[in-house]
Amino acid sequence: MAKKQFKTESKKLLDMMINSIYTNKEIFLREIISNASDAIDKIYFRSLTDTSIGLPRDKYEIRIAADKDARTLTISDNGCGMSAEDLEKNLGTIAKSGSFDFKSGLEEGKSADIDVIGQFGVGFYSSFMVADKITVISRTYDSADANQWVSEGADGYTISPCEKDAAGTTVILHIKADTEEESYSEYLEEYKLRGLIKKYSDFIRYPIIMNTSSEKLKDGTEDEYETVSSDETLNSITPIWKRSASEVEEETYNSFYKEKFFDYENPVKVVKQKAEGRVEYDALLFIPGRAPYNYYSKEYEKGLQLYSSGVMIMEKCADLLPDYFSFVKGVVDSPDLSLNISRELLQHDRQLKVIAKNIESKIKSSLIEMLNKDRENYEKFFKAFGAQIKFGLYQDFGMHKDVLQDLLMFESSSGKMVTLKEYTEGMRPDQKKIFYAPGVSAQQISTIPQVKAVKEKGFEILYFTEDIDEFAIQMLMTYNEKEFSNVCSENLDLSTEEEKEQIKKENASYADMLGFIKESIGGGISEVRFTNNLADYAACISTEGALSATMESTLSAMPGSDPSQFKARLVLDINASHPAAAKLKALYMEDKDKLKDYSKLMYENARLISGLAIEDPAEFSRLVSSLMV
């Protein structure tokens, strides 16, 4: 019989499995068992609408048997089974998950980032970590023909007809010989298999049965023991989400999460909800601590797994999660939902809407609880998903601000992350507004002249380092009745009456000169004025109106946008008490040509320090050079 070759990617992964780069070899059993459980799900689900197929629910099972002499571990199920074509398609190709580019991780001679592979579920092939030969015997429920697939590893596989009594699949692993580093024989030991099933497959919804032996008192004697064997169910079957939280160890939740949702890190929070009354459901939700690689792309699909009384009816039910909580993973199981409801109908299902509403508030309260009690994890969470929450605020025109505003966090001039609540509670009694400053990083923002000046006056400033920040805040408008104020825009009012009067006079008496400077700079600027709010800087740029300079650059950079539509009104603020101001005044009397050049220099210089790009680099360079000769 001709041997068939594995597809290239499969072969590479297979090579890796055989050479056991993955240290966590024991997961192979979990993978085989979960395939068996999926196969039973499939046939059980079909039998609900077609009573001519399948077995009664209590007849489904997964069996596991070890034969030490033959060195085989056999796992069988009475699930949907596979035809010859299925065997070819499913076991000849791997990584149908598609999006993962194996080449990137599997360059020659380089050990692959196994964590990444873990994310995609290595599945069936992981058995080659412990077996040097695998036989899969399978028969589908609708055919009397059975087939067997046999492979000894990377050089290919064969598929041939065979006999099998009933529908289902039997996987026979021929366990490798022990080596100095590794005792593969362990996987033939009852205690080991028992432990692995408890650890990884306890929540599988069908019984995992093994014929186990135990010592029993011999009938009719008082001290004679005999070894008896009997079928024993090794898993606890009840789905993990149906068990009360107090019975389940955290580690069990974590491994359930990691296996089911392909993460290699524990979630930062596990949320359990049991609802009784108008709607009945169990929800087990997880807040990940890390964004999946495709989270901020169109490819990412939000949704919770939906079950009806323990049977899965939808892999990703998007209607259960608002977009701003799209990062949440988990399972919802409700007896109120009909099993064979179509997706379209489900969208209009009233029960489902009620569940979604409850889940949304549960997620919110859980996040708030994490914020209050587990700050470190909350900050980790916010780093990964904060942008999504801000985006949610913006996207719905602030409609959900009550849900979202208390979840926001920003870095501030205090050097820490602060929430809006914390910020407003720490506000000085004379402070009317919430100060913020946009920029690319906390470091850059902290050097902006206005920021320095406001900080020196003793106020805290929120640092908006993400493009979305200002947009989100504009949707919010106020927090706790306090308005937000960009310290780089003109509406700052921190001066005393006396100072204000003074600067007003200064501006009035030098109106001509300021006009001349504005003229010299050209179109980029809408006003030039003196100010006394600049610490020790000579000048800086402020904006007037709703559109800030950073928002202008974000909007202009969006694909297909017309930059001329988004123009922030820029103002050049000159520090009235800086020696440079005196120089300008002197030049206005003595050398207008030079003043013209200095005006441009001062303007470009102010743009730089305010985090904006230089408008005319060639001219700027010429002017700076001319200073040096």
> Which residue's CB atom is positioned nearest to ligand ADP?
123
Least gap, CB of 146 to ligand ADP (angstroms): 13
Q: 574, 539 in Cβ contact below 8 A?
A: yes
**Helical (H) or strand (E) element with 569:** strand 569-575
Q: Is the dihedral of CA 47, 53, 57, 62 positive or negative?
A: negative
Least gap, CB of 47 to ligand ADP (angstroms): 15
**Residue number, 30 or 401, with CB nearest to ligand ADP:** 30
**Residue number, 80 or 328, with CB nearest to ligand ADP:** 80
Burial code (b: 16+ CB inside 10 Å, e: under 16) for 310-343 equals bebbbeebbbbbbebbbbbbbbbbbebbeeebee
**Residue number, 60 or 385, with CB nearest to ligand ADP:** 60
Least gap, CB of 143 to ligand ADP (angstroms): 14
Task: Give the binding site for ligand ADP (CB under 6 A).
Answer: 31, 35-36, 39, 77, 79-82, 90-91, 94, 121, 123-125, 169
**Residue number, 18 or 580, with CB nearest to ligand ADP:** 18
**Residue number, 125 or 484, with CB nearest to ligand ADP:** 125
What is the distance between the alpha carbons of residues 541 and 606, in angstroms, rounded to a whole number?
6
Residue 562 has what DSSP assignment?
-
Least gap, CB of 182 to ligand ADP (angstroms): 23
Q: Which residues contact 149 (CB under 8 A, 6 or more apart)?
A: 87, 91, 135, 136, 138, 157, 158, 159
Least gap, CB of 95 to ligand ADP (angstroms): 8
Least gap, CB of 310 to ligand ADP (angstroms): 19
Q: 95, 13 in Cβ contact below 8 A?
A: yes
Closest CA to 193 of 145, 241, 130: 130
What is the distance between the alpha carbons of residues 159 and 150, in angstroms, rounded to a whole number?
7
- Tokens matching residue 601: 């220099």
Least gap, CB of 167 to ligand ADP (angstroms): 10
Least gap, CB of 125 to ligand ADP (angstroms): 6
**Helical (H) or strand (E) element with 473:** helix 467-476
Least gap, CB of 124 to ligand ADP (angstroms): 3
**Residue number, 169 or 405, with CB nearest to ligand ADP:** 169
**Residue number, 209 or 608, with CB nearest to ligand ADP:** 209
What is the distance between the alpha carbons of residues 540 and 492, in angstroms, rounded to a whole number?
14
**Residue number, 80 or 492, with CB nearest to ligand ADP:** 80
**Residue number, 171 or 602, with CB nearest to ligand ADP:** 171
DSSP for 343-412, written as a single string? HHHHHT-HHHHHHHHHHHHHHHHHHHHHHHH-HHHHHHHHHHHHHHHHHHHHHTTTTTHHHHGGG--EEE
Q: Which residues contact 593 (CB under 8 A, 6 or more apart)?
A: none
